[in-house]
Chains A and B, each alone.
Chain A
Amino acid sequence: MTATDTHRAIDAVWRIESARIIAGLARMVRDVGIAEELAQDALVAALQQWPESGIPDNPGAWLMAAAKHRAIDMFRRNKRLERKHEELGRELQAKQEMAVTDFDAALDDDIGDDLLRLVFVSCHPVLSTESRVALTLRLLGGLTTEEIARAFLVPEPTIAQRIVRAKRTLAQEHVPFEVPRGGELAARLSSVLEVIYLVFNEGYSATSGGDWMRPALCEDALRLGRILAELASHEPEVHGLVALMEIQASRSRARVSSSGEPILLLDQNRAHWDQLLIRRGFAALDRAEKLGGMGGPYALQAAIAACHARALSPEATDWARIVALYEALAQLAPSPIVELNRAVAVAMAFGPAAGLEVVDGLIAEPSLRNYHLLPSVRGDLLKKLGRFDEARGEFERAAALTRNARERELLIDRARTCAGN
C-alpha cells in the first residue's frame, strides 16, 4: 500500500468513525470543541503512524483509544480542569484493565446516546441557524470546512469562523452535553429537524449559484435524517422528515434535464423517479403514522409528496387529497408559502380559475413581495386561462426575482412561449 493509498484509507476511516469518536469524547470532556480537537489530534497521529505500521484491524477503536489517551494527557496538563480530571480519573480507574477490544465495546456502549446528545448540542438554539448548520455538517456529517464552504458557496474562512464561534458559544453558555427532556424536547427536536431540512433544501433547490441542485447536500441531509430516525425512533416527526426527504430526493434524476435545466414536477418523466427512495419514503411515512404522527408538519408534507409518488401520471394525482393535506398544513402552521402551494393544488383539483382566486388573495402579502414563485404560479394559471399577455408579465417578473440562474432561464423561456400566442 502506498502512502497515498494509506492516506485515502485514513480519510475514509475518519469519515466513517469521526462522529462516533467526537460524540464519545464529548461525553468524557463535556465540551464539544475540545472533543473535536482531541479527535483531530488522534487523526494526525494516525496519519503519522499508519503509513509505517499499517492500518490497524479495528481503526475506529484505535482512533478512539488514541483520542482518549490524549484526553487523559490534556487533563493532566490542564490544572483548570482539575475537577473533570478527577471524574475522568475515577472512570479510568474503573476501566484500567481496558484492552483494545474493550475500547471497541466502549465505542458501542451508549454511542447512540452520545450521538443523539451531539445532534442536540450542534443544533442548540443558543447558536445562529447558520452556525447550527455548519457545526452539524462538520461534527455529524463528517464534512471538512472546505466541503461545507463549497456546498454553500461561502468562503472557507467564513465557515471556519462560524464553527469556531459556535464551539466557543457552546462552552461559554455551558450548554450541557445531554438530550433535552420533558417540555424542552419538542422545541429542541424541531430545531434539529429544521437544520436538517435546511441543508436538504439548500441542496434540492439551491437558492443561489449556477446549479439547480447540489445533490451532495441532499445526501448529507438524508444521511443525518436517517441517523436521527434510528437514534430517536419513537419521534414521529423525525420519520415524517425522513419520508419527506426520501420522496423528494427520489425525483432528483427526473427534475433536471441533461443540459442542466430544471424540469417541473408535472413535466417529469416518472420512470426516472427512484423507486428505492420512494419505497423508503413510504416506509418512513408508515412509521410516522404508526406512531400517531400524521398531524405533524413534516409528516403532512411527506403525505403530499407521497400523493405525487403514488400517481403513475400527473392526471392520476389525487389532487383533492393534496388540497385537504395543504389545508391541514395551513391550519397547523399558516404561511403564505403553504397557501401558494394550496393554490396550485386547488387549480389542479378544481380548475385554474379557482386556483387563481387563492393566488390573488396573496398578492398583497408583504413576505411574498420578492418571492419568485408567486408570479411564476400566477403566470402559469393565467396562461391556462388564455390570458397570455398577463401571464408573460408574471413570468418576466418571476425571472427578475429568482437568484438561481437555471431557474431564470426557464422562466424567461416560459415568458417567451406566452408571447407567441
Chain B
Amino acid sequence: MRFMMIVKSAEKWGFPPKELMDAIGKLSEEAVKAGTMLGNGGLLPSAKGTSVRISGGKLIVKDGPFTEAKEVVGGYAQFELTSKEVAVESAKRFMELHRQHWPGWEGETEVRQMYEPGDFPH
C-alpha cells in the first residue's frame, strides 16, 4: 500500500533545528534501507508560493504567504508499507523526533493512503 505523509505546521516556527534534520536524515536512511520510502521532499516557505483557487466560480491567483492558513504543508514523503498501522507507527516515530529535537513546536503529520489499481470507483 502506498502512503503519503504530509507534514503541516504554522509557518511561524521557521526552519527546523539541525539536530532534528540530522535525526530525520537518519530515520530516512533507515526507511530507504528497509525498502519502504519511495521519495520525499521539503517545501520552501509559502511566501515563495502561489495559490490558484476556484471560489464562487472564479479562478483566483494569489501569491504567498498563505496568511489565512493556520497550518501549511512543509514537506511530504511517499512510502510503500504493508498496512495502515505500520504507516501510523512510522509517522509516530517521525513526530517523536520533532518532540525530542524541537521543544515547543506544534504541528501534524497526515497519514493518507493513496489510490491503487482497483480503488477507482469508475
Interface string of B84-108 (1 = CB under 8 A from A): 0110111000001000000000000
- In the assembled complex, the Cα of A252 lies from the Cα of B80 at a distance in Å of 14
Interface string of A193-213 (1 = CB under 8 A from B): 000000000000000000001
The reply to whether A15 and B80 contact each other, CB–CB distance below 8 Å, is no
Assuming the contacts A12-B89, A15-B83, asked whether A256 and B118 have C-beta atoms less than 8 A apart, the reply is: yes
Of all chain B residues, the one with the shortest Cβ separation from A218 is B80
- In the assembled complex, the Cα of A193 lies from the Cα of B90 at a distance in Å of 28
Of all chain A residues, the one with the shortest Cβ separation from B87 is A12
The reply to whether A142 and B82 contact each other, CB–CB distance below 8 Å, is yes
Chain B: interface residue total (CB-CB under 8 A): 23
The reply to whether A12 and B34 contact each other, CB–CB distance below 8 Å, is no
Name A's interface SS: helix
Interface string of B66-78 (1 = CB under 8 A from A): 0000000000001
Shortest distance between the CB of A76 and any CB in chain B (Å): 33
Chain A: interface residue total (CB-CB under 8 A): 33
- In the assembled complex, the Cα of A220 lies from the Cα of B82 at a distance in Å of 8
Is B44 interfacial (CB-CB < 8 Å)? no
Chain A interface: which of B6-14, B35-43, B53-61?
B35-43
The reply to whether A227 and B35 contact each other, CB–CB distance below 8 Å, is yes
Count of A-B contacts with CB under 8 A? Answer: 65
Is B1 interfacial (CB-CB < 8 Å)? yes
Shortest distance between the CB of B117 and any CB in chain A (Å): 5
Shortest distance between the CB of A269 and any CB in chain B (Å): 12
List, in ascending order, chain B residues with CB within 8 A of A222's CB. Answer: 35, 80
Of all chain B residues, the one with the shortest Cβ separation from A147 is B82
The reply to whether B117 and A215 contact each other, CB–CB distance below 8 Å, is yes
The reply to whether A9 and B80 contact each other, CB–CB distance below 8 Å, is no
Is B15 interfacial (CB-CB < 8 Å)? no
Of all chain A residues, the one with the shortest Cβ separation from B33 is A230
Interface string of A232-266 (1 = CB under 8 A from B): 00000000000000000000110010101000000
Shortest distance between the CB of B101 and any CB in chain A (Å): 14
Assuming the contacts A253-B117, A256-B118, A258-B120, asked whether A11 and B1 have C-beta atoms less than 8 A apart, the reply is: no
The reply to whether A9 and B85 contact each other, CB–CB distance below 8 Å, is yes
List, in ascending order, chain B residues with CB within 8 A of A13's CB. Answer: 89
Cβ 8 A contact of B89, one of A16, A213, A219: A16
List, in ascending order, chain A residues with CB within 8 A of B38's CB. Answer: 276-277, 280
Cβ 8 A contact of A112, one of B33, B36, B39, B86: B33
Assuming the contacts A230-B33, A276-B39, asked whether A11 and B116 have C-beta atoms less than 8 A apart, the reply is: no
